[in-house]
């Protein structure tokens, strides 16, 4: 008899990882989901039998329609900024990702995986959790074990927004490798990492849930720079379309995506998958330019928030970090700036004086000075607070 789909919620707990691994060994499909999403009482998820009271998906659910047999790691993506989307990673795709990154980073049997990202992301579930299980590495939850108490080489993976949260004091005794994934790194974050973990090799890994998440990665001997996301990993084919949007194919990509309109799984058979992200070819790989899905449309013109943020930071002599948010005013999308001082003193007069030099088209409607960036439930920058 085919096993029921198990539903797991949680962050980076060792017990959650054990449950995922048990499903792996039992060839049981499993959905791992952000518990915060279940609090939203999303109608689309409720229709397919997912809510906060669910432990196993009822066999009458449409989720069983066209679902491949065996272990399937089912992850939810795009649920915070758009329509929810479920993707399927099987053992083949997961093993491709694990083996590819394990070899690329030259990890050893002595490596300890320090679990920072939530396990409901492909980044956390595959490159942290299942990496530890498949390669028989020690795994510790960052909420249980402080980095200063770890003595073996580490694999620490986090999104850029977590850099200042987890790295608060220099730890020169630590060795190993770090992976920064998710949003683009800024210079202040790069400098902070090298200062806090001077003997760790720092890398940037670019991927997405549908990628499993391996697409491009920097090398362990490359110095990180803002925007640089490295070159395609072995076994990954990439292409940039006419709109400079990156597409990819690999043995590690999702093999099915759930279509909420048709209420069924749709197979992906050696097809190009668009990342939706704008990149610029670089001699050693790609530079990240912006996310097309949150590009701001102002009076018919598309604005890349990342490019504008870099321009403003240079205009302000890098005394502030900048984030651009869209705001809706009388059916027109305008710009709001959030600024965080890189020094202890806020010089608001200096800011307003410099920003007047911006072309009128890029003038912000409002400016907010903050000490912390607003985050969404996935721990990423929340650009919808404007």
- Look at residue 383 and tell me if it is in a domain: no
- Cα-flanking dihedrals φ and ψ of residue 25, to 5°? -70, -25
pLDDT digits (tens, 9 = 90+) for 110-158: 999 998 878 888 888 999 999 999 999 999 988 888 999 999 999 998 8
Q: Which CATH number goes with the domain that contains 318?
A: 3.30.300.30
- In this structure, the answer to whether residues 70 and 140 fall within a common structural domain is yes
CB atoms within 10 A of CB 164: 15
Place of tokens 């704008």: 278
- Look at residue 354 and tell me if it is in a domain: yes
Pairing outcome for strands 176-180 and 264-267: unpaired
Provide the domain count of the chain.
Answer: 2
Q: Which of 252, 269, 291 is the last residue of a domain?
A: 291
User: What's the rounded mean pLDDT across residues 293-302?
Assistant: 61
Q: Is 80 exceeded by the pLDDT of residue 81?
A: no
- Look at residue 1 and tell me if it is in a domain: no
- Look at residue 385 and tell me if it is in a domain: no
- In this structure, the answer to whether residues 156 and 98 fall within a common structural domain is yes
Q: Which of 70, 50, 53, 69 is nearest to 61 (CA)?
A: 50
Most confident range, picked from 75-79, 102-106, 240-244, 303-307: 102-106
- In this structure, the answer to whether residues 157 and 268 fall within a common structural domain is yes
- Look at residue 102 and tell me if it is in a domain: yes
- In this structure, the answer to whether residues 343 and 235 fall within a common structural domain is no
- Look at residue 92 and tell me if it is in a domain: yes
Q: Which of 172, 257, 177 is nearest to 224 (CA)?
A: 177
User: What's the rounded mean pLDDT across residues 179-200?
Assistant: 86
- In this structure, the answer to whether residues 187 and 336 fall within a common structural domain is no
- In this structure, the answer to whether residues 22 and 99 fall within a common structural domain is yes
Model confidence band, residue 80 (pLDDT cutoffs 50, 70, 90): very low
Q: Indicate the pTM of the whole model.
A: 0.81
Alpha-carbon gap, residue 252 to 250, rounded angstroms? 5
Write out the residue range of the structural domain in which residue 222 sits: 6-291
**DSSP letter string over 219-248?**
-TTSPP-TTEEEEEPTTEEEEE-TT-EEEE
Q: Which of 271, 291, 311 is the last residue of a domain?
A: 291
Q: Which CATH number goes with the domain that contains 77?
A: 3.40.50.12780
* Average pLDDT in the chain: 86
- Look at residue 377 and tell me if it is in a domain: no
């Amino acid at each position: 008899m085919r096993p029921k789909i198990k539903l797991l919620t949680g962050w980076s707990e060792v017990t959650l990882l054990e449950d995922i691994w048990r499903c792996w060994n039992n060839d049981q499909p499993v959905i791992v989901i952000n518990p915060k999403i279940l609090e939203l009482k999303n109608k689309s998820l409720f229709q397919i039998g997912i809510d906060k009271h669910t432990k196993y998906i009822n066999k009458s659910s449409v989720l069983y329609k066209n679902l491949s047999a065996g272990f399937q790691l089912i992850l939810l993506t795009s649920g915070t900024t758009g329509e929810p989307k479920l993707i399927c990673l099987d053992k083949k795709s997961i093993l491709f990702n694990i083996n590819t990154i394990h070899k690329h980073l030259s990890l050893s049997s002595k490596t300890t995986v320090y679990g920072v990202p939530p396990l409901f992301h492909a980044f956390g579930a595959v490159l942290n959790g299942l990496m530890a299980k498949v390669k028989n590495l020690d795994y510790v939850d960052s909420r249980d074990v402080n980095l200063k108490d770890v003595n073996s080489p580490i694999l620490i993976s986090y999104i850029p927004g977590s850099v200042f949260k987890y790295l608060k004091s220099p730890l020169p005794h630590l060795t190993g490798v770090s992976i920064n994934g998710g949003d683009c790194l800024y210079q202040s974050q790069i400098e902070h990492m090298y200062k806090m973990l001077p003997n760790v090799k720092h890398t940037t890994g670019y991927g997405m849930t549908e990628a499993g998440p391996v697409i491009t990665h920097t090398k362990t001997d490359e110095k990180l720079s803002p925007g640089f996301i490295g070159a395609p990993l072995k076994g990954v084919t990439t292409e940039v379309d006419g709109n400079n949007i990156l597409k990819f194919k690999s043995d590690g990509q999702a093999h099915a995506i759930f279509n909420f309109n048709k209420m069924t799984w749709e197979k992906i058979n050696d097809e190009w998958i668009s990342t939706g992200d704008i990149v610029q070819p670089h001699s050693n790989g790609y530079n990240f330019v912006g996310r097309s899905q949150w590009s701001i449309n102002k009076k018919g013109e598309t604005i890349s928030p990342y490019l504008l943020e870099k321009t403003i930071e240079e205009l302000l002599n890098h005394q502030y970090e900048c984030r651009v948010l869209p705001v809706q005013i009388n059916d027109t999308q305008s710009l709001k700036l959030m600024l965080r001082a890189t020094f202890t003193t806020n010089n608001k007069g200096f800011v307003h004086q410099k920003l007047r030099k911006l072309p009128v088209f890029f003038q912000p409607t409002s400016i907010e000075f903050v000490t912390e960036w607003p985050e969404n439930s996935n721990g990423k920058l929340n650009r919808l607070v404007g």
